[in-house]
Homo-oligomer: A and B are copies of this chain.
């Protein structure tokens, strides 16, 4: 193999594929990226068996071939180069010479025959969506995904697509985040649980431009994202997702409208008084026109007032301030509506057109 590429292009594409190189693995070959020429095109691939990424590298092919190179060393070398054109050449033993400017590197390469190919997809359903919209849906929900690997299904996000709508749900034991977006109305529908790790990586690779699109193709236990010159293939999480609709009712006794940033500020102010090991909640004391937030721990106490518009009953209810702050930071509106049913029922933050809904469980408190 003998190829020529620009350093900047190699760095850009390595930044994409190396997201699928496992940090730890018992299969040594997975620590490599595979470079492969197919006619005039150059492909780079990495695969950690859950997530695989393949991307096109712009460059010229002088001699066909394929080689697997240690991802860390290859990336470190390419990043440190100070020229522009890079040539990569392998000999018959796959010893690889990397030349750039006046530097000549030689590193060992290895066969690609034992490198696992990306899983193939039997298409069951697919749709195309703006990269901006998909990235936004992920970023505004993924913080709610559970990190408890013992309940595998909630370590992913639940995608429900069909009838011109994509609904994304993320939840852990304390909160739920739901976002909806429009997709092209086509026949059929699909439900799938996508690993949060995959979505994190995908959201980082997506350009996030409104006019750029990404195509999602759902197969049996496998999903692919195709965008720009890149293909991401991920295994899906098997099992049944939790029935969120059962937990969410439209009932409420109290509705408040409040400035989102003022609420974030008041909740953030409580954090210095609550050590990480402490589960003391902040207490919301909602009366006409005023939300009093208070907390008392052995470090000190805080009382803070924020103006609100209130419909319905007065209520006192306790929350973990971090969970509310997470949800509030994921919302784009200047003013938000919160709904409460009673002290032991979840609090809801949602908008009228139903594009977002954040649910946070309350925490028992002793008011003093």
Contact = CB atoms under 8 A, between A and B. Distances in A.
Interface in A65-123: 70, 73, 76-77, 80-82, 102-108
Given A271-B80, A272-B80, A102 B304 contact: yes
A358 to B, nearest CB: 22
A106 B302 CA distance: 6
Contact of A269 (B80, B269, B273): B80
Given A73-B299, A107-B299, A299-B107, A269 B82 contact: yes
A104 B269 CA distance: 10
A82 B268 CA distance: 10
A103 B266 contact: yes
A104 B301 CA distance: 8
Nearest to A106: B301
A355 to B, nearest CB: 28
Interface in A252-272: 265-266, 268-269, 271-272
A301 B95 CA distance: 11
Contacts of A301: 105-107
B272 A73 contact: yes
A304 B103 contact: yes
B269 A300 contact: no
Interface residues of A, number: 29
B299 A269 contact: no
A295 to B, nearest CB: 10
Nearest to A298: B108
Contacts of A108: 300
A103 B272 contact: no
A103 to B, nearest CB: 4
A75 to B, nearest CB: 8
A217 to B, nearest CB: 37
Nearest to A305: B102
A228 interface: no
Interface in A181-199: none
A364 interface: no
A300 to B, nearest CB: 3
Contacts of A203: none
A301 B102 CA distance: 14
A85 to B, nearest CB: 16
A7 interface: no
Nearest to A267: B80
Given A80-B269, A269-B80, A272-B80, A104 B299 contact: no
Contact of A271 (B76, B81, B103, B303): B76
B76 A272 contact: yes
A306 interface: yes
A59 B302 CA distance: 23
Interface of A: 70, 73, 76-77, 80-82, 102-108, 265-266, 268-269, 271-273, 299-306
5 contacts: A77-B272, A103-B266, A105-B300, A106-B302, A107-B300
Q: Top 7 closest A-B pairs, CB basis?
A: A76-B272, A107-B300, A103-B304, A102-B305, A82-B265, A106-B301, A80-B269
Given A73-B299, A77-B269, A104-B303, 17 more contacts: A70-B299, A73-B272, A73-B273, A73-B300, A80-B268, A80-B269, A80-B271, A102-B305, A103-B269, A105-B269, A105-B273, A105-B301, A105-B302, A107-B273, A107-B299, A107-B300, A107-B301
